[in-house]
Amino acid sequence: MVNLLNSIIEPINGWIYYPILIILLLAIGLYFTIRTGFLQGRLFKESIRVVLEKPDKEGSVSSFQALMVSTASRVGTGNIVGVSTAICLGGYGAVFWMWIVAIIGGASAFIESTLAQIYKRRDKDGNSYGGPSYYIETALKNRTLGIIFSISLILTYAVGFNMLAAFNLQTAFKAYDFYKPNVTPWIIGIVLALVTAYCILGGGKRIIQFASTLVPIMGVIYIY
């Protein structure tokens, strides 16, 4: 059964990933870059100023915290493994083209974040919530598509991103002498589950606080 599913999914995944996904991402990024007047460079100085400004109300989410949460949701195993793989296959020149694609994709990210701000909602306490599912429902007037996106996103993060990240994390410990195949993965899994539960059960603010602390540390570790 597994082999049958792989034989069906792998060709579809390969076809969608290349060339469809790459063409769409580059085309959309270029379109928004042109339509916004190359905001990636034009508003770069303003973006730095906004990130450093403090929130109007005490206890509110700052621009820096919002940036860290966004970074935490965007940067994952693929960014780290993908970069090293690209350099191995394409040499140092691959770094240049990754920079170019990242700059072009910045326009798409800006539009996505702008839509989230325009169509965000507020709860009874005045806290904001929203995202792609909400602006798909409101802007496109298609609740069904928003629900499909939400379910797909939950499954992708739960089964794809989180499980893959946890697997890669525990695999990294194989280089150490204390690694026991029948014990160490369980310990790491339990620790990750407890940390995840601590963040999720604490609500959005705890997730923001945790991400805004951890992401800069991971950035420094990644650089070195």
Q: Helices (DSSP H) in 1-43: which residue ranges?
A: 2-15, 22-35, 39-42
pTM for the full model? 0.74
Q: Take residue 173 and report the two structure tokens written for it.
A: 């410990």
- DSSP code for 120: -
Most confidently modeled range among 6-20, 104-118, 165-179: 104-118
Task: Summarize pLDDT for 59-81 with one digit per residue, the tens.
Answer: 677 888 888 887 877 776 667 77
- pLDDT at 209 > cutoff 90: no
Task: Summarize pLDDT for 88-101 with one digit per residue, the tens.
Answer: 888 888 889 989 99
